[in-house]
Amino acid sequence: MSQAYLIAIDCDGTLVGDDYVLHDRTVSVLRSLLKKGHYVILASGRPYRSLEVFVKAIGLERMPIITYNGAHAFMPSDDSLNYLRAFDLQATADIATRLLPEVDSLLIDDAKRIYLKEEDLFLDHFFPYREMPYVLDAQRPRLFAPPYVIVFKRKKAVDEPYRSIIEAHPGLRYRPWRDSLYAEAYQEGSDKGSALKAVMAYLGIDSSRVVAIGDSDNDLPMLQVAGHPYRMPETRQEALSGFKAAPDTAKKEGVAKLLESLPFLK
């Protein structure tokens, strides 16, 4: 192999489908790419603790990883890479206080402790909290450190007052989750694309040797950075429509089929 490529893969809807199953063929293809000297990194909205099962199954412990939609990029094995864009603590406290009466659930995660308005097993799948220190308080937010994620369940599938509460703070933006009552706050410039650039600089790889695969609008900045961007075929995100599609869905191992088809990875 003459050149190493960096392959950045979104998780939910890309690496795994709605069944959240990591298939054997996908594992085999990714392990083969690692043996050939390529870099395989996961780029997810989830925290590392939610991705560790995939990391171990594929053998990515010595690969960089992008978590919290680009708020944190790091090396699990050492401290040689640690790119971090946490929320301002005071802005988070104001947002949380104003959101509490407007939402059914609220989760704020600083990677060490979690604040919850109430138990939410759906969010526990993406941001596991039951084996971590966490605080339940429906009356007031209890925050300990600048968080990496602010996510909540709206009472109705509308954008207000949630957008106004979040975007009253400079540099913060509101993003609803597709086909869901859930939504989140995010920071301008804190995205998978910015984190991917940090990983590229760390590895010494330019965009011409970057493959990125995603299925949602939060993957757009990552796809725009990559010289070889691909979308999953079933995505309904109009912003991704201009990118080439993988040959199949996540459930049918579309990532594996795509990567097997790229001649420069062989």
pLDDT 10s digits, 149-203:
999 999 999 999 999 999 999 999 999 998 899 999 999 999 999 999 999 999 9
Query: Rounded distance, CA 217 to CA 116, Å?
Result: 26
pLDDT 10s digits, 189-243:
999 999 999 999 999 999 999 999 999 999 999 999 999 999 999 998 899 999 9
User: CA angle, corner 30, sides to 28 and 34, nearest 5?
Assistant: 115
Please say if the pLDDT value at position 111 is more than 90: yes
- Band (pLDDT 50/70/90 cuts) for residue 2 is low
pLDDT 10s digits, 12-31:
999 999 889 999 999 999 99
pLDDT 10s digits, 47-84:
999 999 999 999 999 999 999 999 999 999 999 999 99
Query: Rounded distance, CA 153 to CA 158, Å?
Result: 11
Q: Are 105 and 87 in contact (CB under 8 A)?
A: no
114-121: average pLDDT: 96
Tell me what pLDDT residue 1 has: 52
Residues 6+ apart with CB under 8 A from 187: 71, 85, 87, 171, 172, 173
